[in-house]
Amino acid sequence: MRLLNINKNIIVLAIVLLSMIICLTAAIASSKEGNSTDFSQVFSNLMESTAKENKELLVGWNDYLIKVVGHSNADHLKVIEEFTKDYAKALKAIDEKYAKDREQDKMNYTSTWLDDVTERFGKEFVCNNITAIMMNMIIAFQRTDAKRYDQDANEIISKESILYLAYESYLNHFMDYYNQLSEKDRKKMNAWKVVAEKYLSITNRSHFAFTHYGRHLNNKMEENAMQKENNELYMYFKKLILPFGSGALQKAIKDKNLFVKKCEMQGLLQPDNN
């Protein structure tokens, strides 16, 4: 009898492990396609593996949802899948836009901005304020980028919020269902719990908002500092209309470095004054 119990435990453990492997495989597969984490796929796989051994628990879960929300498990997963696709599509679109714009920026870039600022402020001034000038240039890049991407980013953030709220609603119902199960049944649904907790742990903040606006405070402070340091220079760059965005940043940095070399060679650069 004891041997039989041990064997049962091993089987349960094996099922849990198998379910987790299936989930992980699904997540990796979705990453290769460049989609967001495919929640519906992960739960479909969990359902498939649970249905073989513990069909009654799945039926119970479905009945629970219908009783509490009025819609089935399949209804929930279908809508979440739609939200996921919508979000993944928006992510893919902004990524493609970035890649395209970056190539375009590299092609459109010219060094004339450095010539123009030199003509306007004089070489000695530029030599000794090159860091501030470069910072103003980056702020100009960011202004161009904001015009290009902020609206898309805000739309993605709203899609992400819709998706995460759907995750939360579905998973909180699951956790309520799980908590009312017997200890024996909880063990059978452990893989679900692990996955549910994993997803719930990511829904407490917008990850895309962090990615897009994570340095916004610092960037804004840099901008304020530049305005305070030299308003004339700041306004000059603020009025600049650039035919390129931050995709040209590397080329601009390279030009800045070459310019510094020239300043050094011509003896125009004061130590610790750039």
Partner 1 sequence: MEQIGIFGEFFRAGNEYALRHYSETDYLDDEVINFDNKTQLRAYLSNLQKDPTTWTVLNTVARNFGLDACRTTIDRCDKEDLDFLCDKILSEEWVLIIRKYHGMKSVKLEQCCIEVTQFINKEITASAITSAIIIALPFFQALFYPYPEKVASMASSAMSIGTEDWKQLAEAIKGVNQHTRKIISDTAGIHSLHHHNNRRLQQLWEEISNAFA
170 touches partner 1 by CB under 8 A: no
131 touches partner 1 by CB under 8 A: yes
111 touches partner 1 by CB under 8 A: no
Where are the extended beta strands (E) located within the chain? none
The backbone torsions φ and ψ at residue 122, rounded to the nearest 5 degrees and listed phi first, read 90, 145
Q: How far is the CB of 225 from partner 1 (least distance, A)?
A: 11
Any idea how long the chain is? 274
Structure tokens at 205: 């903040």
Tell which positions 79-108 bind partner 1, by CB under 8 A.
91, 94-96, 98-99, 102
160 touches partner 1 by CB under 8 A: yes
Query: Can you tell me the distance from the alpha carbon of 202 to that of 244, in angstroms, rounded to the nearest whole number?
Result: 35
220 touches partner 1 by CB under 8 A: no
Alpha-helix residue ranges (DSSP H) falling in 35-122: 39-53, 55-68, 73-108, 112-121
Q: Which amino acid is at 2?
A: R
Binding residue (CB under 8 A) for partner 1 from 9, 151, 172, 257: 257
Structure tokens at 214: 């994570």
162 touches partner 1 by CB under 8 A: no
25 touches partner 1 by CB under 8 A: no
Q: Is 184 helix (H, G, I), strand (E, B) or coil?
A: helix
215 touches partner 1 by CB under 8 A: yes
Contact 39, 84 (CB under 8 A): yes
Contact positions vs partner 1 (CB under 8 A): 27-28, 30-31, 34-38, 91, 94-96, 98-99, 102, 130-131, 134-135, 138, 141-142, 145, 160, 202, 207-208, 210-212, 214-215, 219, 222, 246-247, 249-250, 253-254, 257-258, 261-262, 264-266, 272, 274
